A and B are shown apart, each in its own frame.
Chain A
Amino acid sequence: MSNAMGSGNARGRAFQWSSVILPVIVAAIGLLFWDTAVRISGSDIFPRPHEVAQGIIQLIRQGLLLKYVVASLFRVTWGFTLAVLIGVPFGLLLGWYTWAFRAFNPLIQMLRPISPIAWIPVAILWFKVTDKAPIFLIFLASVFPITVSAIAAVQNMQPVYLRAARNFGLTQMQLFRRVILPATLPQIITGIRIALGVAWLVVVAAEMIAVNSGLGYLIIDARNAGKRYDLVVAGMVMIGLIGLVLDLLVRQLEKFDEVLWGYANR
C-alpha cells in the first residue's frame, strides 16, 4: 500500500505527543480523586488504587489473570467471529434485495432491542453451563449491529458506482466483488467496531452467571468469596483496559488505503 503522493493524506498525520500526555494527566487526576475520596470516606471495604494494583499483581502471580483473560477472549472470539460470518453476508443480502429487506427487517428490529442479558436463562436452558452459553450470548449481541450496518452500507451506496459498474458490463459476481463489497467496507468496519465493543460488554455479564472462569466470573467470585473488593475492581480495570486495546486494534482496519476514503473527516 505505497502511496504516490506521500504527505497530505490522513495516514501521514504526524504523531502527536498531546494524544499521549493529555490522557495520562486525566488518568492521574482520576486516580488521585479516587484515592482521596476513599480516604475521606474512611471506607475499609472499597479499595484504594494501590490496593487494586496489588490485587492485579496477586492475580498475575497466581496465574489467574492470564487464564481468565484468555477464557473471556476465547468466548468473544468465537461469538464475534460467528456474528461477522453470518451478519455481514446476511446484511449485504438484505441491503441489496428489497424483498428480503421487507421480509426480515421487522423481525430484526424486534429482536434487536431484547438485551442479551434477557437471553441468559434461555442460553442456560439450551446450552447448560458450558462455554457455548456465553458464546451464544455474544453472538446475539454482536450480530445485530453488524447486520444493520451492512444493510445500511448497501442502501447508502452512491448510485453512480453501480451505474458505472453496469456500464462496464460486470456480471453479478464481479459486481459484488469489485464494487458492492469495497463500496460498503468502510461502513461495515464501523459496524464491526461497534459490535466488538458490545461483545466485550456482554461476555463479562454472561460469565457472571453462566460459567466458572473469565473476568466476569472473577468479579462475582471475588465478591462472594470474602468481599475481596480489591479483586472486584481489579477485574473491572482489566475489562476496561482490554476493551481499549480491542478498539485500538479494530481501528487499525480503518487505516487501510482501500477504506480510508469512507472516513473523510478523520
Chain B
Amino acid sequence: MNNVLDNSTPKQAFPAVLVRDLWMSFPGKRAGEQIHVLERINLEVRQGEFVCLVGPSGCGKSTLLNIIGGFLHCSRGDVMVEGQPVAGPDPRRIFVFQENGVFPWLTVQENVGFGLLRKSAAERAAIVAHYLEMVGLTGFERAYPRELSGGMKQRVEIARALAANPDIIYMDEPFGALDFITRLKMRADLVRIWQSEKKTILFVTHDIEEAVQLADRVLVMSKRPATIQRIIAVDLPRPRDLDSAGYLGTRDEIFSAMGMSLRIGENVEAPARPAHGSNSPDAPQPARR
C-alpha cells in the first residue's frame, strides 16, 4: 500500500490541512437574510497530527469539517489540503460520518472493501482482513450491518476508511450515538490505530473529555458565528491517565475556555453527581468561569 500522493514535492513540506481566513454564511429564511456561521477561521493541522475541534452544539464545527472535506463550499477564504486547494471530496481523505455511512445492503467485508475496486480480489481480501482485525471485527466478515451494534457499525466505517489508505481521516462526532462504555473503548482503539497507521486525524466533537483523551491539540470554537478562540496543546503521554493532574488540568482549561462552570447545581449542598462530559466525582473542582 504505497502512498497515492507521490509527486516531486515532499509531502512533509505542507501542513496536512491549512485554513486561512475562512468565512461561511447560509441564506436565511427571509430573502436577503444571511446567517453567519463561521468567521475568520484560521487553522493548521500538521502531518500525522491528531487534532480535535470542540465547540458548543450548533456552533458550526461540523460545517467547518464538511468544508475541509470538500462537501461544502465556503463563502470566503482558502482551504488547502496537502498543499492543494480543496475542489471536492477526495478518496485520499476519508470522512467518517456521525450518522454512520456504512451501506446496509453490503456485508461487513463488502463495506470495508468498498473503496478497493481497482485492486485484485486477492489483494482486496488481504486488506479487508487486515483492517477488520485491527478494529476487532474478525469473524463478522459476512454479517450485515443490521446485525451489528452501533459501536460495531462505527468500527466497520473506520475500517472502511483505513482500507482506502487515505492520508487524512475526518471524523464528525463518530462516537456521539454510542453509550459511555462503548465510547471509552472506541477512543482507546482509535488512538492505538492512529499510532500504528500514522494518519492525520481531524476529529470534531462536542465532548471535551473526548478531545482531551484523543488529541495532540484541541481547537476550541466559540458560539455562532464561530471562530477558533483557543488552541490548547495536550502535552500528555499516551496511554493517557484520566486521573492525572495533567489530564484534569487540560480538561478544566478547555471548560473555562468555553465559559462553562465545572459545578452542577451550584447552590445545592450535596456534591454534584458525576455526569458524563462535565465532571468526575474525585476530581478537584476549581471554581472557574
**A contact set with B: CB distance below 8 Å:** 2-5, 8-9, 158, 160-161, 163-164, 166-169, 174, 178-179, 182-183, 185, 257-262, 264
Give Cα A167 to B47, complex, Å: 21
How many B residues touch A, CB cutoff 8 Å?
Answer: 31
Verify B91–A169 contact, CB threshold 8 A.
yes
Q: List 19 A-B contacts (CB under 8 A).
A: A3-B142, A4-B140, A4-B142, A4-B147, A158-B99, A160-B99, A160-B100, A161-B103, A163-B71, A163-B101, A167-B94, A167-B95, A168-B94, A168-B164, A169-B89, A257-B144, A258-B105, A259-B105, A260-B146
Neighbouring A residues of B106 by C-beta, 8 Å:
182
Give Cα A167 to B69, complex, Å: 9
Give Cα A8 to B144, complex, Å: 12
Report the minimal beta-carbon distance from B111 to chain A, rounded to whole angstroms. 10
The closest CB in chain B to the CB of A159 belongs to B99
Given A161-B101, A179-B103, A261 and B114 contact (CB-CB distance below 8 Å): no
Q: B90: CB under 8 A from chain A?
A: yes
Neighbouring B residues of A2 by C-beta, 8 Å:
142
Give Cα A204 to B43, complex, Å: 70
Give Cα A183 to B85, complex, Å: 32
Give Cα A264 to B104, complex, Å: 11
Q: Describe A's contact surface by its main secondary structure.
A: helix
Give Cα A179 to B105, complex, Å: 9
Give Cα A174 to B141, complex, Å: 23
Neighbouring A residues of B99 by C-beta, 8 Å:
158, 160
Give Cα A167 to B93, complex, Å: 8
Q: B14: CB under 8 A from chain A?
A: no
Give Cα A158 to B145, complex, Å: 15
Neighbouring B residues of A160 by C-beta, 8 Å:
97, 99-101
Verify B101–A261 contact, CB threshold 8 A.
no
Q: B139: CB under 8 A from chain A?
A: yes
Q: B77: CB under 8 A from chain A?
A: no
Neighbouring A residues of B164 by C-beta, 8 Å:
168
**B contact set with A: CB distance below 8 Å:** 69, 71, 88-91, 93-95, 97, 99-101, 103-107, 114-115, 117, 139-147, 164
Give Cα A2 to B107, complex, Å: 11
Report the minimal beta-carbon distance from B47 to chain A, rounded to whole angstroms. 21
Which of B94, B95, B164: most chain A Cβ within 10 A? B95
Give Cα A158 to B101, complex, Å: 9
Neighbouring A residues of B147 by C-beta, 8 Å:
3-5, 8-9
Neighbouring A residues of B90 by C-beta, 8 Å:
167, 169
Verify B142–A168 contact, CB threshold 8 A.
no
Give Cα A89 to B58, complex, Å: 39
Neighbouring B residues of A169 by C-beta, 8 Å:
89-91, 115
Neighbouring B residues of A4 by C-beta, 8 Å:
107, 139-143, 147
Neighbouring A residues of B105 by C-beta, 8 Å:
182-183, 185, 258-259, 261
Neighbouring A residues of B115 by C-beta, 8 Å:
168-169
Known A-B contacts: A4-B140, A158-B99, A164-B95. Give 6 more (CB < 8 A).
A4-B142, A4-B143, A8-B147, A160-B101, A161-B101, A182-B105
Neighbouring B residues of A178 by C-beta, 8 Å:
114
Verify A9–B146 contact, CB threshold 8 A.
yes
Report the minimal beta-carbon distance from B76 to chain A, rounded to whole angstroms. 23
Which of B71, B100, B147, B164: most chain A Cβ within 10 A? B147
Report the minimal beta-carbon distance from A14 to chain B, rounded to whole angstroms. 18
Verify B143–A164 contact, CB threshold 8 A.
no
Give Cα A166 to B114, complex, Å: 12
Neighbouring B residues of A183 by C-beta, 8 Å:
103, 105
Verify A168–B143 contact, CB threshold 8 A.
no
Neighbouring B residues of A163 by C-beta, 8 Å:
71, 89, 95, 97, 101
- A-B pairs, top 7 by smallest CB distance, nearest first, are A261-B104, A164-B101, A182-B105, A4-B142, A169-B91, A4-B143, A168-B115
The closest CB in chain B to the CB of A186 belongs to B105
Neighbouring A residues of B107 by C-beta, 8 Å:
4
Give Cα A167 to B71, complex, Å: 9
